[in-house]
Chain A
């Protein structure tokens, strides 16, 4: 346990020291600012109301969850595994008194924290932007729905990043993992359209499952089914990723 704690802190410090986290933050700010400018321009130019104060974060989330968030989660996952394997820095941690399971879990937990903090950051930004530009439509229920939808978005993105972790332990090059992750992302979205009845099995189709949580009538069974599918996929991907990581010769 002591080894895990040390590995977890080390991974967190490494993540904070890298430029990717700054790039993710800057791009997130850009996304929110550009979104708000577009909404305001349409409102004043064409007279159309696109989004109110608590609706704006949903608009941001619908774009953010399919672009910047999975992209940077992929970058971070590749960096944590493929990047460290190719730069030979993986052995720094692996030759310390900590089990491989401890190192793997510490990395995955940090990946989860990255996704979580990125979502929280964008949520706060979009809420602030929404409140500033559309003060009139503020409501507590709206705020709760925003928090709930951002929280819900974490799970599918995290499961997708576990797929990237698996690929990072399967393939040698980071670039190959990146392209394969992109192909998987596109393929899942395509398959989601073609085989819509099986869409729950294509994890990217669940990036917008937050809509289930905030709809007028909540479909508990559908939510439960999605949760179980995500949980199953998550456990399988984590286990497969760890199996490869544990067997890897450095």
Chain B
């Protein structure tokens, strides 16, 4: 199995002492990896380092063999991401936003932009400025921007934020469809544990800046009644009341 992500001894500690330390993780191609952890555990920090938005204090992240520190351009060639919040330029329409992002990918044309807008249910709002969008619509636009280049890896930090039930179900479907049709690898963090259980094939629990356990969802569910129980037991075992 080819490796999509290789995280080795990743450490990033903030001045307040929080952050991540000595994180080691390997994600295979085609995995839907769920990254779970309580608030402030270090999920977003790890994802920011993976997306090159932060420099680690130590360690490295390789995406399809290319280091995000030494070979950033090649590492990000096949990556789409939403980190923390889905951002767009508010003074541009949804279509204009995607057209701008498409400039980084020569193979993306207007047809693909329309396709992404269609997938995310934004086609009828394509000419509306994104400043007028609701939180859910902004999130959909973020998803459209992330999948625009047909990336081999999608790093999604709380992708279900602000989405309505319909949106959550569509998102779940989209993830499964992309894995099935294109073998896309997903690295997802979410607080909606039920959705992670329904979507992800592998789960990693991060607590206090350290990755405390990684296992396949079917293994977890054979030992625990739900992912939520597993998560609570893992977090409790590591000292959280």
Contacts and interface: CB of A to CB of B under 8 A. Distances in A.
B104 A92 contact: no
A91 B53 contact: yes
A250 B48 contact: yes
B81 A249 contact: no
B100 A3 contact: no
A97 B48 contact: no
A94 B106 CA distance: 18
Name the residue in A7, A89, A250 with the highest tally of chain B Cβ atoms < 10 Å from its Cβ: A250
A249 B54 contact: yes
A95 B73 contact: no
A2 B76 CA distance: 14
A18 B73 contact: no
Contact of A92 (B72, B77, B101): B101
B52 A95 contact: yes
Interface stretch (A8-16, A43-51, A130-138): A8-16
A2 B106 CA distance: 9
A6 interface: yes
Contacts of B88: 89, 92
A89 B87 contact: yes
A88 interface: yes
B103 A95 contact: no
A100 B85 CA distance: 21
Name the residue in B81, B89, B91 with the highest tally of chain A Cβ atoms < 10 Å from its Cβ: B89
B129 to A, nearest CB: 10
Interface of chain B, main secondary structure:
loop
Contacts of A96: 76, 101, 104
Nearest to A250: B53
B91 A95 contact: no
Interface in B183-221: none
Interface residues of B, number: 27
Given A95-B52, A250-B48, A88 B85 contact: yes
Contact of B87 (A13, A91, A98): A91
Contacts of B53: 91, 94-95, 249-250
Contact of B89 (A9, A14, A91, A250): A14
B92 A97 contact: no
B51 interface: yes
Given A91-B83, A249-B55, A98 B73 contact: yes
A185 B100 CA distance: 35
Interface in A50-104: 87-89, 91-92, 94-100
Contacts of B89: 14, 17, 89, 92
Contacts of A98: 73, 104
B148 to A, nearest CB: 10
B194 to A, nearest CB: 28
Contacts of B106: 2
A9 B88 CA distance: 17
Interface of B: 48, 51-55, 72-74, 76-77, 79, 81, 83-85, 87-89, 91-92, 100-101, 103-104, 106, 145
| List of 9 A-B pairs having minimum Cβ-Cβ separation, nearest first | A6-B103, A250-B53, A97-B76, A96-B104, A249-B54, A6-B104, A97-B77, A97-B73, A95-B51
18 contacts: A3-B104, A6-B104, A17-B89, A17-B91, A17-B92, A87-B87, A88-B85, A89-B88, A91-B83, A92-B101, A95-B52, A95-B79, A95-B83, A96-B101, A97-B72, A97-B74, A99-B72, A99-B73
Given A88-B85, A95-B52, 20 more contacts: A3-B104, A7-B104, A9-B103, A10-B103, A13-B100, A17-B91, A88-B87, A89-B89, A92-B145, A95-B51, A95-B79, A95-B83, A96-B76, A97-B72, A97-B77, A100-B72, A249-B53, A249-B54, A250-B48, A250-B53
